């Protein structure tokens, strides 16, 4: 049966690989690579010994030379390496593709690099891409993503997600400026959780861990992060909102956290093990940080009945996120938080005017992606789960899409009643 599925994949690829060559699209137009209406094919040609070594030493970050092919385009002498945290695998490696690692300033469609996410922690293969689409629909910048079949030296190596990295090219596209300070935030699993506790005046207590500089590494300006954290912990309630506005757009942060709460993501800004899986960017000439989403492999895991107050009110004070707790003491921000959750309900349940009898957007999107990747997932020769587990994981997503809106709406209505707020279903 596997050989038949593989044959079908190759036949489908022969059809979908046609179209305008990417080289004719201009140096900064990466949209076709992230076209999520297509299941892409990416081929890497790499020395057999190097591929074997990468898999054997998958916990290391060693780069290996390879050639990259997408449609009719070939990029020579790129660098590839194993990547990921809990998703690292020697069987099905997650990969960073760095077009400029061996050839200075080499780019592809304006991109210096891309990520090929292996989805080893997600049997459905869909959580990451669906989550980022919801961030887009809610008006927040997030990575562009699409699915691809990866071929290594001509052999099918599994279903992956093409992920736009959060780097200077992303900053230029979303902020129109890449000259500021970008940090990744992925807290080491063997370290104590961090929830904006004041660690004193030493910038080294924050940079490079847990805030890792991705730009301006030689001048990371951890002192600004110190000022941000101390403003969170030391500012009086009466002026907290005004002071905090110098460091972060609180309504925008609340919308980010509302999306994660709606998605049942227990490993994000309000994660079970402290903050995790985001980037933050500070524009030059300001002290204001913006939060950017990253790695949603744990989204949906909490289930459709998960409380929107998880890690907000259901944990002791020492396990609460200091910034979120203080923000929600403000009546206007509290109301905005509830309105953002209602906006998530409205967005995920939005109907298609052409087929008003069809399910809401979230369930339709899950169905669309499932139909697109099903054969590729079933034929994946190295996935760490069975085909039955893949099908069940997708069914669990369908159930989440059908049940989540009602659960969240009920909690928001109860919160509004307790706070004496008017009901509203309109996003801000």
pLDDT (tens digit per residue) in 160-217: 999 999 999 999 999 999 999 999 997 877 888 999 999 999 999 999 999 999 999 9
Output the CA–CA distances (angstroms, integers) from residue 417 to 34, 273, 314, 315, in the order listed: 43, 31, 19, 22
Q: With 70 as the cut, is the pLDDT of residue 10 above it? A: no
Structure tokens at 389: 């587990």
Q: Predicted confidence band at 29 (pLDDT cuts at 50, 70, 90)?
A: confident
- Helix ranges (DSSP H) in 176-270: 222-234, 240-244, 250-262
What pLDDT is attached to residue 321? 97
Q: With 60 as the cut, is the pLDDT of residue 325 above it? A: yes
Higher-scoring residue by pLDDT: 333, 14: 333
Average pLDDT of the residues in 225-245: 96
Q: How do residues 37-51 score in pLDDT, each as one tens digit?
A: 999 999 999 999 999
Nearest to 261 by CA among 210, 219, 301: 301
> Kindly report the CA angle at 220 between 215 and 222, in degrees rounded to 5?
140
Average pLDDT of the residues in 343-365: 95
Least confident window among 22-36, 175-189, 218-232: 22-36
Q: With 60 as the cut, is the pLDDT of residue 134 above it? A: yes
Q: Predicted confidence band at 281 (pLDDT cuts at 50, 70, 90)?
A: very high
Higher-scoring residue by pLDDT: 88, 23: 88
Q: With 90 as the cut, is the pLDDT of residue 261 above it? A: yes
What pLDDT is attached to residue 423? 52
Nearest to 393 by CA among 307, 305, 300, 308: 300
Average pLDDT of the residues in 317-335: 96
Question: Is residue 376 helix, strand or coil?
Answer: helix
Task: Report, in angstroms and rounded to the nearest whole number, the Rg of the chain calculated over CA atoms.
Answer: 22
Q: With 90 as the cut, is the pLDDT of residue 15 above it? A: no
End-to-end Cα spacing for the chain: 51
Average pLDDT of the residues in 279-292: 97
- Interatomic CA distance for residues 173 and 165, integer angstroms: 12
In the numeric block, the tokens 């969170």 are attached to 232
What pLDDT is attached to residue 422? 59
**Cβ(62)–Cβ(54) under 8 Å?**
yes
Going by C-beta distance under 8 Å and a sequence separation of 6 or more, which residues neighbour residue 183?
Answer: 207, 211, 212, 213, 214, 220, 279, 280, 281
Output the CA–CA distances (angstroms, integers) from residue 24 to 13, 207, 234, 391, in the order listed: 21, 42, 55, 39
Average pLDDT of the residues in 100-127: 96
By residue count, the chain amounts to 428
* Domain ranges across the chain: 2-169, 171-348+406-419
What pLDDT is attached to residue 9? 46
In the numeric block, the tokens 């924050």 are attached to 206
Give me the percent of the chain exceeding a pLDDT of 90.
86
Going by C-beta distance under 8 Å and a sequence separation of 6 or more, which residues neighbour residue 325?
Answer: 312, 317
Q: With 90 as the cut, is the pLDDT of residue 145 above it? A: yes
Q: How do residues 54-110 score in pLDDT, each as one tens digit?
A: 999 999 999 999 999 999 999 999 999 999 888 889 999 999 999 999 999 999 999
Half-sphere exposure of residue 47, counting CA atoms within 13 Å on the CB side?
A: 10
Q: With 90 as the cut, is the pLDDT of residue 279 above it? A: yes
Q: What is the mean pLDDT of the chain?
A: 92
What pLDDT is attached to residue 198? 97
What pLDDT is attached to residue 276? 95
Give me the percent of the chain exceeding a pLDDT of 70.
92
What pLDDT is attached to residue 28? 52
**Cβ(92)–Cβ(12) under 8 Å?**
no
């Amino acid at each position: 049966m596997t050989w038949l599925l593989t044959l079908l994949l190759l036949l489908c690829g022969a059809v979908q690989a046609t179209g305008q060559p990417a080289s004719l699209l201009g140096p900064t137009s990466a949209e076709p690579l992230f076209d999520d209406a297509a299941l892409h094919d990416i081929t890497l040609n790499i020395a057999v010994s190097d591929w074997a070594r990468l898999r054997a030493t998958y916990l290391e970050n060693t780069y290996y030379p390879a050639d990259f092919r997408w449609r009719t385009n070939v990029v020579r002498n790129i660098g590839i390496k194993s990547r990921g945290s809990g998703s690292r695998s020697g069987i099905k490696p997650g990969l960073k593709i760095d077009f400029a690692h061996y050839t200075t300033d080499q780019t592809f469609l304006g991109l210096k690099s891309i990520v090929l996410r292996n989805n080893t922690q997600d049997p459905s293969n869909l959580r990451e891409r669906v989550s980022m689409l919801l961030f887009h629909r809610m008006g927040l910048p997030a990575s562009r993503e699409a699915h691809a079949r990866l071929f290594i030296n001509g052999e099918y190596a599994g279903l992956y997600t093409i992920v736009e990295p959060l780097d200077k090219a992303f900053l230029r596209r979303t902020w129109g400026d890449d000259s500021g300070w970008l940090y990744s935030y992925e807290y080491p699993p063997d370290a104590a959780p961090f929830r904006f506790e004041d660690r004193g005046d030493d910038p080294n207590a924050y940079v490079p861990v847990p805030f890792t500089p991705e730009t301006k590494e030689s001048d990371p300006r951890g002192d600004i992060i110190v000022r941000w954290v101390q403003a969170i912990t030391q500012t009086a309630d009466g002026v907290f909102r005004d002071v905090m506005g110098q460091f972060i757009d609180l309504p925008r942060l609340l919308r980010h956290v509302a999306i994660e709460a709606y998605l049942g993501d227990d490993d994000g800004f309000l994660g079970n093990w402290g903050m995790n899986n985001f980037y933050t960017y500070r524009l030059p000439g300001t002290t204001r940080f913006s939060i950017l989403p990253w790695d949603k492999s744990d989204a949906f895991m909490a289930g459709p009945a998960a409380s929107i107050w998880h890690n907000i009110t259901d944990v002791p004070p020492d396990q609460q996120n200091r910034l979120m707790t203080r923000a929600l003491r403000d009546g206007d921000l509290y109301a905005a938080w509830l309105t953002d959750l209602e906006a998530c309900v409205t967005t995920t349940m939005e109907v298609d005017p052409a087929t008003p009898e069809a399910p809401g957007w979230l369930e339709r999107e899950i169905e669309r992606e499932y139909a697109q990747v099903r054969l590729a997932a079933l034929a994946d020769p190295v996935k760490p789960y069975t085909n039955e587990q893949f099908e069940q994981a997708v069914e669990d997503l369908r159930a989440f899409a059908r049940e989540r809106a009602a659960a969240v709406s009920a909690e928001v209505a109860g919160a509004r009643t307790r706070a004496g707020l008017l009901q509203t279903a309109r996003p801000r």
